Structure 1
Amino acid sequence: MTITTEAFTVQPFTRSCHHIWDEGDHVLIGVSPGNSYFSAGRITDLVRWASARFTRIDIVYADLHVAELFGALGYDQDHAARRASKELKAVRRRMLRGVEEAGPPAPVGVHGLSEFAANPVYELLHRRVRHFLATDPAFRAGCERMAGHFLSSKVGEPAASAEQLAACLDYIAAELPFFLDTPGILGVPSSVSCYHAPIPLTELLYAKGGGLRASRNQAHAVVRPEGIAA
């Protein structure tokens, strides 16, 4: 179900995700701080591309548990806080510059995850994520695979420590509400959550049956520039 546009290749995860993509209500662009993929130019291209297809665009970047993650990777407390602050300021500047240069016809929301701490839907979803991390072995295993993939590029061998894994799981848990129910958090009819690489948990979140699952009006798609492989 790959969709090829003039700038990006889009892979909705399921047939339902494809239908939600076609509705064009809302797109969420997730941004990771410290990832060179998210240059100002890339944000400009993404916003221009999304503006032609969606009624509303929001960009959300992960700004929770970043300092704690640096601390677990070996930085002292002050250095970890400074490093996190520097990276978060840099990624926000790039996003704002990218949006400005895109000149979209409608405003684009740029948010840190921390802005939603008091949002009741986000808060409930975050509590559910933490609950399933503690009680659902399959869900925890998927989260640990995500954490392991991230940490492998940071710590190499030997394997990540328990402290590093816990810090990374906190970081992932803060992001996951937007993979579960962006419409509920932002008050939009439906939403496509976009990222440039496959996410190991997607298969579980869109599986049939019980457990922690994405809402029926939540879609996910891998969106990457033409010619760039997964």
Structure 2
Amino acid sequence: MTTIATDIFTVRPYTSHCRVIEQEAQHAVIGVSPGNSFFTAETVTGLAHWAAERFARVDLVYTDLYIADMYEALGYSPDDARRKAVKNLRGVRAKVSNAALAVDPDGARVRAQPVSALTGRPEYRRLSRHVETLMTDDAALAATVAGLVDRFLRDKVTGRDATDRQREVCTRYILAELPLFIDSPAIFGVASSLNCYHQVLPLADLLYGPGHGLRASRNQGHGIIALTAPEDAQ
């Protein structure tokens, strides 16, 4: 497998405070989405190398919750949904695990793990409960999540309205990732952390905006990773 050169990755901190988090370089979370064509094996390994060169610790995290439920809600039979989820997750697990192993064979600084491995941690559970409460009490959060669900399902159920089941599962999928966007330093036990993704996080405006409600912690940052063409990186 050919590894992408790390000098073609760039990161754009979402706010000036996120830039401070980036410069502290204590920890990075690299989010890897299953089924997303951006995350080829070469790209994931390149990202792992890039992050390890810049941060003291790196966690490569992929979503593995509600995948089969999503497929079933979108019309697959239970057996087909399960098989498709298993195949999908097997692929992303291999990419992430191989990337971490290639960069840090001892696992001292670079780790690979699914979101499900984090759900037993007290801080993840605390943040999940906080989000659940705010989904009832915070109209801005509920509206933002509903908008994300609408946008996702619009491309999946063309020509008909989304069902309550589809909306419920899609909401669960989004909320399962939220603790990592809010306070990954608490979850991973680090002083500060930059959550990196190849797009702006869907709730970034809410998490890093002024006011009350759901907000990222003071030592949480967000960075948008760009993959430039080799000639652009020169």
TM-score normalised per structure 2? 0.89
Report deviation, 1:104.
7.5
Asked if 1 retains the 8 angstrom alpha-carbon contact of 2:103 and 2:110, the reply is no
Corresponding residue to 1:208 among 207, 210, 229? 210
Asked if 2 retains the 8 angstrom alpha-carbon contact of 1:45 and 1:102, the reply is no
Unaligned runs of at least 5 residues, structure 2: 1-5
Match of 1:26? 27
Give the distance between the partners of 1:50 and 1:31, measured in 2 at CA. Answer: 13
Report deviation, 1:176.
0.4
Report deviation, 1:102.
4.0
Kindly tell me: are residues 209 and 30 of structure 1, through their superposed partners in 2, closer, same or farther at Cα, counting changes over 3 Å? same
Stretch moving more, 34-43 or 171-180? 34-43
Residues 39-58 of structure 1 aligned to structure 2 (within 5 Å): 39-58=40-59
Match of 2:169? 167
Q: Alignment partner of 1:170: what SS?
A: helix
TM-score normalised per structure 1? 0.91
> Number of residues paired by the alignment?
224
Say what the alpha-carbon RMSD is for the aligned residues.
1.9
Corresponding residue to 1:155 among 108, 132, 157? 157
Kindly tell me: are residues 117 and 48 of structure 1, through their superposed partners in 2, closer, same or farther at Cα, counting changes over 3 Å? same
Report deviation, 1:113.
0.9
- Match of 1:10, as an amino acid? V
Kindly tell me: are residues 14 and 104 of structure 1, through their superposed partners in 2, closer, same or farther at Cα, counting changes over 3 Å? farther
Unaligned runs of at least 5 residues, structure 1: none
Stretch moving more, 103-112 or 56-65? 103-112
Asked if 1 retains the 8 angstrom alpha-carbon contact of 2:52 and 2:103, the reply is no
Does 1:183 find its partner at 2:190?
A: no
Give the distance between the partners of 1:200 and 1:92, measured in 2 at CA. Answer: 23
Asked if 2 retains the 8 angstrom alpha-carbon contact of 1:47 and 1:104, the reply is no
Q: Alignment partner of 2:10: what SS?
A: strand
Report deviation, 1:162.
2.1
Give the distance between the partners of 2:55 and 2:135, measured in 1 at CA. Answer: 33
Match of 1:14? 15
Asked if 1 retains the 8 angstrom alpha-carbon contact of 2:26 and 2:56, the reply is yes
Percentage of matched positions with identical amino acids: 43
Stretch moving more, 117-126 or 105-114? 105-114
Report deviation, 1:103.
5.4
Give the distance between the partners of 1:9 and 1:199, measured in 2 at CA. Answer: 16
Match of 2:90? 89
Asked if 1 retains the 8 angstrom alpha-carbon contact of 2:33 and 2:62, the reply is yes
Give the distance between the partners of 2:104 and 2:125, measured in 1 at CA. Answer: 33
- Match of 1:53, as an amino acid? R
